[in-house]
Amino acid sequence: MSILEMKVPSPGESITEVEIASWLVKDGDFVEKDQPIAEVDSDKATLELPAEQSGIITLKAEEGEVVQVGQVVCLIDMDGAKPEGAAAPKTENAEAPQAEEKVVEKPAIVQEAKKEEKPAASSYATGTPSPAAKKILDEKGIAPAQVSGSGKDGRITKEDAETAKVPAMGAAASTGGSRGSNTTKLSVLRRKLAARLVSVKNETAMLTTFNEVDMSEIFRLRKQYKEEFSQKHGIGLGFMSFFTKAVTRALQMYPDVNASIDGDYKINYDFCDISIAVSGPKGLMVPVLRNAETMSFRGVEANIKQLAEKVRDGKITVDEMTGGTFTITNGGTFGSMMSTPIINPPQSAILGMHNIIQRPVAVDGQVVIRPMMYVAMSYDHRIIDGKESVGFLVAVKEAIDNPVEFLMNGDERKALEL
């Protein structure tokens, strides 16, 4: 019998453990080589784990379990025959038509069943939890007496514990409405993010400065060149290319904003790697535009589109999300009017964009209606002084207010490569 031990590969440098977010196959299934069999969460991203060979799979780790890089998480019996009539797995390269799917029979003795059936009926009193169930109930703060067991002789099983509801604090008489609650374990990605956010607040001298920008000229440019730009380059002309170029210009004017702290040392970068916050199925991800200072409007838009698609498809890699020197986040896409964005360590600053509102503003002594946006810059005051932070945000403002002069060298068509 040829058995392959599948071990957890390293998702990236410095990552030592991952969490089995979900198994995409069941114990005893036949899997094809390169078929995705699991999703694993690291502290930076969620990645798919493909089968290394074809065969019958035996799972050696549970969903939600934290495993070390290099640990065996499943076995693949490469001598196991593909069940007759079984459907081909859905992979990007699969071209064979789908046959009617048959259920693969699992071994007669299931591990969980073994756990539940080991004790004799007389060994457990009604309402006694199994060891796994007791651990879950202790974590939820639920007494076994509050749970009805579905196991043999009324024993509380792991499934009973998982579905048990946390009792409401100070529960009063029923109002007739639902008073249920649900407890789920945070993913390793969310737990790591929570720890990082707390550490940023505790370990940096974070301040935020605000300003507002007039989007009138950008609206005009997009309206005038949107179709021509799309037809020639195959991508849309969005707001992010203007803000990215405004930021890279400001970073070159104020180099301390494009820096980080390493112990007693300050590291200044002569390149602008811009992290762009993108919302995905697993939460907010920050893929990086490498050397954004060298990119054209077309280049920025094309790279953002490519990275955003990878995030939404769950195919972004750890390497594509590390190494940024400055972050841009756009809470305006969700309707945010004002916020204080949190620095993405080890970076020292972040720019927050917000929603665009038609507001009355004074221009040359006259009240006019303009599309206005509030912008916020959070920064680490340990290396960025107030003068630099305010100057940086003013530089961003002047570039957004007048992009033709400050971002396009006075030639909008040439800048847009039209």
- As averages over each run of 10 residues, the pLDDT of the chain (418 residues) reads 86 74 90 90 77 92 86 90 64 41 40 42 58 79 81 77 71 62 73 76 88 96 94 93 96 94 90 90 83 95 92 82 90 87 90 95 94 96 93 97 95 93
pLDDT value at residue 370: 96
Is 354 designated active site?
no
pLDDT value at residue 414: 94
pLDDT value at residue 369: 96
pLDDT value at residue 75: 93
- Whether the CA torsion 277, 278, 279, 281 is positive or negative: it is negative
pLDDT value at residue 405: 95
Helix (H) or strand (E) holding 137: helix 131-140
pLDDT value at residue 142: 86
The one-character DSSP state at 119 is S
Q: What pTM value is reported for the model? A: 0.63
Residues 6+ apart with CB under 8 A from 42: 11, 12, 15, 17, 18, 19, 188, 189, 318
Instruction: Please check whether residue 345 is in contact with residue 200, taking contact to mean a CB–CB distance below 8 angstroms.
Output: yes
- In b/e form, how buried is each residue of 329-358, taking b as 16+ CB within 10 angstroms? bbbbeeebeebebbbbeebbbbbbbbbbee
- Catalytic residue (one of 380, 385, 401, 411): 385
- Catalytic residue (one of 79, 138, 319, 381): 381
pLDDT value at residue 14: 61
pLDDT value at residue 86: 58
Is 385 designated active site?
yes
